[in-house]
Amino acid sequence: MSTTLNDPKKVKQARTLIVALSVVIPVVVAVLFKVQIDGVDLTFLPKIYAGINGLTAIVLIMALVAIKSKNMNLHRNLIRVALLLSLLFLAAYVSYHATSSPTEYKGDVPGIYYTLLISHIVLSVAVIPMVLFTYLAAWEGRFDAHKKWTRFSFPIWLYVAVSGVVVYFMISPFYV
């Protein structure tokens, strides 16, 4: 990357921030699920955040192609777009769930749906520190560590993005 993080104090601060975010984000999301804001209609959001998940998956694949083609600038920019999309997804997801009642799955394959949903949720929590530490390693210019982190974070991030779209299509017929 063109700018590397070499100041040990800043690296330590970044690592502390990653750990804090990795705890705070899931806790805040869980707490916000208990919040119910009435009078706000955000029922259009599931389509949008499913689309954001799909776009994230496409951008991640494009980032993989870019780095395989040795285009580091494009790769870096695509990863930044994927991070921004993930933040937009999170904002839309939390907004929808804070203003809407939970939707019950009434389909023919509940075992598949709930297995997919649970794995999606668990891995969406786990991927937060993985993606951030992967990004930090690149930012520090530690590309060997970046590649090691990427072996785990990339497929999990891609799975979370794709499974989010599948979960949406499975639950969407039951939205009220």
Domains, the chain, with CATH or none? 8-174 (1.20.120)
State the pLDDT at residue 33. Answer: 80
State the pLDDT at residue 4. Answer: 60
State the pLDDT at residue 48. Answer: 97
Contacts of 135 (CB under 8 A, 6+ apart): 79, 83
Distance between CA 81 and CA 59 in Å, rounded? 7
State the pLDDT at residue 2. Answer: 44
Predicted TM-score (pTM) of this structure: 0.91
Q: What's the alpha-carbon Rg for the chain, to the nearest Å? A: 18
User: Residue 36, class by beta-carbon neighbours within 10 Å (0-12 exposed, 13-18 middle, 19+ buried)?
Assistant: exposed
State the pLDDT at residue 1. Answer: 41
Which stretches in the chain have pLDDT values below 70? 1-5
State the pLDDT at residue 3. Answer: 53
State the pLDDT at residue 36. Answer: 87
Closest C-alpha among 176, 175, 174 to residue 107: 174
Distance between CA 73 and CA 75 in Å, rounded? 5
Listed in sequence order, the DSSP H helices in the chain are 8-34, 45-68, 72-99, 110-140, 143-171
